[in-house]
Amino acid sequence: MTMPFMRPPKKNPILRTRVPTLPPWTRSRVALGLTAAAAVGRFELQSCDDCGTVQYPPRESCHQCLSIALRWSPESGEGQLLSETRLHHSNDLFFRERLPWRLGLVQLASGPTLMVHLHGDVPAAPCAVRVGARLDRAGQAVLIAFPAEETPHMADDPQLREMTCDPRHRKVLVTDGKTAVGQALVRALAKAGADLVWVGEAEPWKKSPGLDALSDLPCVTRVPLDLTDERSVLQLAGELGGKVDILVNNAEVHRPFGISARRGTEAARAEMDVNYFGLLRLAQGFGPAMRARGADGQAGATAWVNLLSVYALSNFPPHGTYSASKAAALSAAQCLRAEMRAGGIRVVNVFPGPIDDEWNQTLPPPKLSAEGVASAIVRALRDGVEDVFPGDVAQEWFERWRESPKTLERELAQGGT
């Protein structure tokens, strides 16, 4: 049984400093379909439309009938562990630092036989297991076998923690504690076992409801942070950049206007200054230090979370300028993900639907609560996914966008939601 994960010791400055390394990450274009599914928390394999064969590893054609009519289909992951081994030596730089490493051979109920990582609570072969897809430090999909039944402290398995960003015993910076979502995030992170939660506070002379109550939590510290002020960002980065394990950028400005429904550009400028340029200032201030700390073991930096919007995928005309600012932030976040990959830092983009706040009062239900957004972010960190779509609206919007972006654009232009 996995033992509870204890608070890691402080880094010894006399010992060798590990340089960030990545597991083998080269994949073929067709194999990236497995990664695309794992990025949103799904385990999918190729299925042949002509003969029904489920195959692994991914190929350009069906290994049974040579058909190219292949599609990615969800898998239950149920299977049987046939054999296992424990790796005690490796020429790969990433695994050499993390030995021993447990591996196994699993036959899925749907047919394919897989080489997988083994969770520590999986019994000796033969036994029933369930296989899931996770993203490794390089951001590529890998397969891991879990015990068929839940066991205590499963999330604390050392191999699994290499593929997730569980906030337990980690230090987190939440960039805006004045909003309902920010306050719900702080409470959720504290409940999840975060060691320290720094809460950013712009314009501290303005009293915000609920913010003082956060200070009563023993792990919470309020810090001055204004994303529109480069000096404020750089000053805090100088103080905390070498300590932050998870950064959650939830600061945003939201105004429900279209492009031509309001004269002037002041509202759009305010949205861009926080939603887009604020992300750039954070990336320039905190990015280098976090990327360099990706190899600090259990005490290392691990994740960067951006609170975006499902409107970033396709513009929602009643919130046109806000949608545009979030689309710009999404593009910047994709660049940030590529740059942070070298340090093994996972960039998690969160795309909620309408949140039940003052800027969405006129939108009909269903709307997400602040607590719903916070729990989705904590769950994403624990599961190690890259893209999260909390709520029914976001899930439906995402599926429609995947099926036909142009159709979704037309529906939204005609007043659909």
- pLDDT tens digit string along 176-191? 999 999 999 999 999 9
* 311 found inside a domain: yes
Give the domain range for residue 149. 32-161
Ramachandran area for residue 72 (φ above 0: left; ψ -120 to 50: alpha; else beta): beta
pLDDT band at 5 (very low <50, low <70, confident <90, very high): confident
- Is 180 found in the same domain as 92? no
Residue 178 and residue 54 share a domain? no
Within this chain, do residues 180 and 293 fall inside the same structural domain, yes or no? yes
Residue 356 per-residue DSSP state = S
Q: Is residue 284 a part of any domain in this protein?
A: yes
Q: What is the pLDDT of residues 104-119, one digit of tens each?
A: 999 999 999 999 999 9
Residues 224 and 361 in one domain: yes
Average pLDDT over residues 162-184: 94
User: In whole angstroms, what is the distance from residue 397 CA to residue 351 CA?
Assistant: 10
Are 193 and 303 in a shared domain? Answer: yes
Q: Are residues 175 and 156 in the same domain?
A: no
Q: Are residues 149 and 236 in the same domain?
A: no
Q: Is the pLDDT of residue 16 over 80?
A: no
How does pLDDT run across 49-99, given as a tens digit for each residue? 999 999 999 999 999 999 999 999 999 999 999 999 999 999 998 898 889
Q: Determine, yes or no, domain membership for 8.
A: no
Q: 112 with 191, same domain?
A: no
Instruction: Give how many domains the chain has, as a whole number.
Output: 2
Residue ending a domain, choose from 161, 181, 202: 161
Same domain, 62 and 205: no
Pairing of strands 387-388, 346-350: parallel
Provide the 3-class DSSP secondary structure of residue 382: helix
- Looking at 101, 129, 161, the residue that finishes a domain is 161
What pLDDT was estimated at residue 215? 86
| Helix, strand, or coil (residue 304) | strand
CATH classification at residue 296:
3.40.50.720
- Do 292 and 146 reside in the same domain of the chain? no
Res 212: pLDDT: 84
Compute the mean pLDDT over every residue in the chain, rounded to the nearest whole number: 92
Q: Is residue 316 part of a domain?
A: yes
Please check whether residues 265 and 304 belong to one and the same domain.
yes
pLDDT at residue number 283: 97
Same domain, 320 and 260: yes
